[in-house]
Chains A and B, each alone.
Chain A
Amino acid sequence: MVVEIDLPELKEMLRESISVGLVYTLVELLTGSFLVSMEKELLVVPGLAIMLPGILDLRGNISSTLASRLGSALHMGWMRPKAKFSGEAKENIIASITLSLTMNIITASVAFAVAVLLGMKADLGKLVLVAITAGIIAGAILMTLALIITVKSFKRGWDPNNVTIPVLATLGDIVMIGSLVLVVKIFHMVGVI
């Protein structure tokens, strides 16, 4: 096999990917420091650490697929570029809310089962409560953002897919981890968990 390299193309790829990468690495480190602030609760609430990656992953998946479908609807002319809760936008948002509630409950329940199997004293009600409350707060923010960013970038003549997916992937983590930390801290403070 002959390995051929296009040098100008390589330079362009390095310049673009590294400059974007340095920015999101800094943003994600901020997200990471939110996680560090939750260290105590992760230790105190059994099962929370098990469901953490699942909950985070879910949020990114649901909001970026929402943005991607809204982008297609705009491109195809099925939807007018207005940030209104009707027609295609309504169907898509209802789907995302349903998915996020169902999947959050499933994730919390499976995490609970795993925790019990590992011999931990987990509480199903507490895990579901945390997953749903954090999911609703983050979901409301991210779905609104997905709709607004998609419509705005389309109006400006940008391809929404190039804008919304990277933006939502990065913001999605911060918003989700932020609301999770907030919910866990408040519930822990008032003694619910």
Chain B
Amino acid sequence: MTHYKWKRIVRESMPPLLIALVFSLASGIFLNSTLKLKELIAILLVLPAFINIGGDIAGVVSARITTSMYMGEDKTMWTSIIGGLIVSLVLFAFLGIIAEILLEVMGGGIGIEKFISITLLAGMMATTTLLGISLSLELLGRKFGMDPSDLSIPLLSAIGDAIGVWFLIFTAKIIMGV
């Protein structure tokens, strides 16, 4: 006899995966709308890294805050939030610089200041939004007596990717003026 039953895992995993699918399809429609535009290559190049940075920072901050709530340490909350914002600034700027270098090697740079503006602006908007959502989920979870990890981590990963793609494409369109 095994503790895990494949049928049960499938049944329990479907609802969150289906919710995640709705958000990813929204990102897909958004991605599809940029297809004929010249900024597509720049967006495709940074997309995986961009989504990963935002999701990772929100995940780390949210996990740290959850732990600190159990431990009753309020200092950790602000330390984590400010730390998360500084890490975002550094990583999104780094992403813009390296991506522009790669594009120039491939023969189609868009300008270093433009690329850094896109990744930084879109990145900070995405991180701040995700942090806001995760903090609200923490507070809601605490109010209703749920373990915040069960609530915020799956929801954050579903919403996070979509928000990342939206902010990235939106900012790229504005800054590249298309």
Chain A positions near chain B (C-beta within 8 angstroms): 3-6, 9-10, 13-14, 17-18, 21-22, 24-26, 28-29, 31-33, 35-36, 38-39, 42-43, 49-54, 56-58, 60-62, 65, 69, 73, 76, 78, 87-88, 90-92, 94-96, 98-99, 102-103, 106-107, 110-111, 114-115, 118, 169-170, 173, 177
Interface bits B13-55 vs A (CB < 8 Å: 1, else 0)? 1101110110011011101100110001100111111001100
Known: A33-B102, A35-B48, A173-B52. A110 touches B25 (CB 8 A): yes
Give B163 Cβ to nearest chain A Cβ, in Å: 12
Binding site secondary structure of chain B: helix
Inside 8 A of B64's CB, which chain A residues have their CB?
A: 13
B46 in contact with A170 (CB, 8 Å): no
In the bound complex, how far is the Cα of B30 from the Cα of A114, in angstroms? 12
Inside 8 A of A17's CB, which chain B residues have their CB?
A: 57, 60, 83-84, 87
A53 in contact with B161 (CB, 8 Å): yes
A32 in contact with B44 (CB, 8 Å): yes
In the bound complex, how far is the Cα of B165 from the Cα of A58, in angstroms? 16
Interface residue total, chain B, C-beta cutoff 8 A = 62
Inside 8 A of B20's CB, which chain A residues have their CB?
A: 57-58, 61
Closest B residue, CB atoms, query A8: B79
B46 in contact with A32 (CB, 8 Å): yes
Interface bits B74-87 vs A (CB < 8 Å: 1, else 0)? 11101110111011
Known: A9-B76, A18-B91, A99-B14. A50 touches B32 (CB 8 A): yes
In the bound complex, how far is the Cα of B60 from the Cα of A156, in angstroms? 24
Closest A residue, CB atoms, query B47: A32
